[in-house]
Structure 1
C-alpha cells in the first residue's frame, strides 16, 4: 500500500510539473514579445524619415529630433517604470506601457503636422518600461541559473527585432506609405496587449512591494559597490557598441564603394554576434555571473586586438575589419544576461528599480563614451584609430568585470553560505 501511495504521489508530482511547464511556456512567450516590442520602434521607421519630412514639409533636422527625443524619454522611462513596478506590481506597469504605446502609435499614424507627430513619437517611448518588467519577471519566476538561461534567450529576441526592423519598415513605407509603419506598430501593440492581459501574471507579492521614498531606493542602489561594478561593465560594453556604430561607416565606407547596402550587410555581423553570444549565455548559464562577464569581455578584447594587429599589418580586406568587430556583439550578448542579473540581485526588493536605473545609466554612459571618442575619428579610413578606441572601451568593460569578480568574492567571504547573498549587501 505504501509503495502504491508513493507511486501515486510521484505520478501526481510529475503531472503537476508538466502542467507548470506548459503554463510557463506562454508566459515565456509573452515576455519575449514584450522585450522585442520594447526595442522594435527605435529604428523601424528610420528608412521613412525622408518621406516623413517631405509629407510635413519640415526640415530633416527637425524630423530627426524624433530620434533624440525618443532616446531621452526612453532612458527616463526605464528609471521611472522600474521603480513603479516595484511599488505597484509588474503586470499593471506593463499593461499601461503597452496601452500608451498603442495610443501613441495611432497618434503618429494620424498626425496632421510635425509637432503632433513628434509629441506622439516621444510618447511611444513608454514601451521601454516593458524591457525592465520582462527582466524582473524572468528573475522572479526562475532560479538564478535558469534566469540567466531565459534572459539569454530573451536577449536573442531583443537583438533580432532591431535587426529586422529597418527592413520591415522600409518595405511598409515603399508599399503603403510611412503611416503604415505606425499602424502596424499599433496593431502589434494591440495583439501583445491582448496576450499580456491573458498570460502575464503578477510576480511581486504585496508584502514585498516597495514603500517609502523613491530617492531612498535609488540611494540604496547607488551606494552599492556591486551595483556600480555591473552597471559600469554594461555602460562600457554599450560604449564599445556605440563607437562601432558611429565610426564604422567613416572608417570603411569608402572601401565598399559608398554602397549603403553593403555597409548595412556587413554591420549586421555585430547584431548577429550578439544573437550568438546570447545563445551561448543561455546554453552555459551555470557559471557565476562575474566569471561570465570576464569571459565575455575577454572575448571582445581578444577579437578587437586581432583587428588592431591586422590593421597595423596593413591588411585592408573588409572582413579584416568586420570579422573582429563581430566579437563586440558576441561579448555583449554574453554580458547582457549576467550583468542584468547582477544588478537585479543587489537588493531583492528593488529588482525593478535596479533594472531600470542600470539600463538608463548604461545607455547614457555608452553614449557619453561614444561622444568623447567620436572627437578622435576625424577622417575617412581611420581603421587603426577606430580599433584603438574600441579596444580602450572594451578594456574598461573588462576592468569593470574584474572589479565585479573581486566584489563578489569579497561578498562571498562574508556570507556564511560562501556565496554572494541574493540581496547583495553593499560592499
Structure 2
C-alpha cells in the first residue's frame, strides 16, 4: 500500500479525510438534538413522535450499513463514499424545506446514506494496516471525528436559538459540500481485492456469521454503543423537560460525553498496540459502568443538578472511546477480505440495537420517574458488554486475541 499523500487521489486517503467523512456522519445524527422540542412544537406533534428523527435514523442506518459494506467490497471505497455524500446533499435540501412531518421523516431517513463515512473509514484503515495498528489508527480517526459531534449539539443549539431548527440542515448541507470536495481530491481507492460479484460476497458470509469472534466483537460494539444511544434518546427530555434548559444550554451538556470520548480515543490510539485490544476493551467498559453509577448515586442522594447528571457522562464517553476502536478493529480483522461487509454488518447490528435502546430509554422516561430509568438502561448495556468481552477472552480457546496477547 502506498504512503498517503494529502490531496493526491492516487494514494490512500490522509487521516484528515477519514476524520472528515466519519465526522460528517456523526454530525448529521446529533446536530439538531437540542432543537427536538421546538421541532415537535413547530409540527404540532409530541416529543415521542419527533424522536423518530433519532430512533428512525438509527434503525435506517442499520439497514443502510448492510448494503454499504458489500457495495464497497464490490465496487470500491471511493465511489461508495462519493455516492453516499451526493444522496446526503439531496436529502438535506428536502429537510431544509419540509413543511410536514412525513416529508421531514422521509428525507431524514435518506440522510442515513452518510453512514458510509463511519463504516468505510474503518474498512479503509484495515485496507491500509494490520489489526493492532488498525486499532491504534481507528482510535486517532475517531478522536479527530469526535471534535465534530462534540461541538455539533452546541452549534445546533446556538443555530436553533438564533435562526430556528432549519438552520441545522443548512449547516449539514454546507459541510457536506466541503467534505465531498475533499473526498474527490484526496480519497484514493484502497480496496485492491474487490469481490467478483455480490453473490460471491454473500456466499462468503456464512463463514463470517459462523465466527464466534465476529459475534463477540459485534456484541461489544452493540452494547457499548447502546449506552450512548440510550443517552441520546433520553438526554433531550431530561434537559429540556425535567431541567427546563434552552436548546443552546442543553447543547452544551453534550460536550461532556463527547470530550470523554475524544480522550478515550486518544488513549486508545496511543496505547492499543502496547497493551492489546482485549485490555483496552475491558478497561473501557469498566469505566463506562462507573460513569453510569456516579450520576445514579447523585440522584439517590437527592442531588439533581445538571452538572451532577451530565458531568459524569465524561467517564462514560471516555470508556466508549477506549472500547470501540479495539472492538471495531477486531470486527474488520476476523475476515480481512470481507472488511467492508464485516464493518457494515456489525455496524447494522449495533445501530439496530442502538435504535432499540434509544426508543426504550426515551419511552420509559416521565416527569415522575426522573432520569433514573435511562441510567439503568445504560448500566445494563455496560454489564452485557462486560459479558461479551469475557466470552471473547475465556470462552473460545481458539480466540484470535488471546493468541495475540501471548
Normalised-by-shorter TM-score class: 0.7 to 0.9
Q: Does 1:354 align with 2:355?
A: no
Among residues 126, 150, 159, which one is paired with 1:139 in the alignment? 126
Distance 1:290 1:199, change over 3 A: same
Q: Does 1:326 align with 2:314?
A: yes
Bigger CA radius of gyration: 1
The residue number in structure 2 matching 1:197 is 184
Q: How does 1:337-348 map to 2 (within 5 A)?
A: 337-348=325-336
The residue number in structure 1 matching 2:117 is 130
Query: CA-to-partner distance for each residue in 1:31-80, whole Å, 9 max, x for gaps?
Result: 1100011121123234555776777x664676654444433322211111
Q: Does 1:43 align with 2:19?
A: no
Among residues 231, 237, 244, which one is paired with 1:258 in the alignment? 244
Among residues 196, 217, 229, which one is paired with 2:216 in the alignment? 229
Tell me the CA shift for residue 323 of structure 1.
Answer: 4.7
Q: Does 1:297 align with 2:277?
A: no
Partners of 1:371 and 1:110 lie apart in 2 by 27
Tell me the CA shift for residue 374 of structure 1.
Answer: 6.6
The residue number in structure 2 matching 1:83 is 70
Partners of 1:220 and 1:308 lie apart in 2 by 42
Tell me the CA shift for residue 353 of structure 1.
Answer: 0.8
Q: Does 1:96 align with 2:83?
A: yes
Partners of 2:136 and 2:281 lie apart in 1 by 15
Partners of 2:252 and 2:165 lie apart in 1 by 23
Tell me the CA shift for residue 159 of structure 1.
Answer: 2.8
Tell me the CA shift for residue 381 of structure 1.
Answer: 6.2
Partners of 2:16 and 2:95 lie apart in 1 by 28
- Count of matched residue pairs: 398
| Greater relative CO (CA pairs within 8 A, separation 6+) | 2
The residue number in structure 2 matching 1:424 is none
For the Cα contact (< 8 Å) 2:33–2:236, is it kept in 1?
Answer: no
Q: Does 1:398 align with 2:375?
A: no
Distance 1:131 1:207, change over 3 A: closer
Partners of 2:227 and 2:280 lie apart in 1 by 18
Distance 1:103 1:207, change over 3 A: closer
Partners of 2:264 and 2:111 lie apart in 1 by 29
The residue number in structure 2 matching 1:156 is 143
Query: CA-to-partner distance for each residue in 1:166-199, whole Å, 9 max, x for gaps?
Result: 3323444455555444343223222211211121
Among residues 218, 226, 234, which one is paired with 1:239 in the alignment? 226
Partners of 2:174 and 2:17 lie apart in 1 by 16
Where does the alignment leave 5 or more consecutive residues of structure 2 unmatched? none
Tell me the CA shift for residue 366 of structure 1.
Answer: 3.4
For the Cα contact (< 8 Å) 1:292–1:334, is it kept in 2?
Answer: yes
Tell me the CA shift for residue 164 of structure 1.
Answer: 1.9
For the Cα contact (< 8 Å) 1:250–1:379, is it kept in 2?
Answer: no
**240-249 or 154-163, which moves further after superposition?**
240-249
Distance 1:164 1:307, change over 3 A: closer
Query: CA-to-partner distance for each residue in 1:119-145, whole Å, 9 max, x for gaps?
Result: 333222111112111111112112333
Q: TM-score, normalised by structure 2?
A: 0.82
SS in 2 for 1:259: coil
Distance 1:396 1:60, change over 3 A: closer
Partners of 2:237 and 2:51 lie apart in 1 by 20
Q: Does 1:283 align with 2:273?
A: no
Distance 1:109 1:81, change over 3 A: same
Distance 1:272 1:182, change over 3 A: same
Where does the alignment leave 5 or more consecutive residues of structure 1 unmatched? 1-16, 421-427
For the Cα contact (< 8 Å) 1:253–1:259, is it kept in 2?
Answer: yes
Partners of 2:111 and 2:364 lie apart in 1 by 34
The residue number in structure 1 matching 2:57 is 70
- RMSD, aligned α-carbons: 3.6
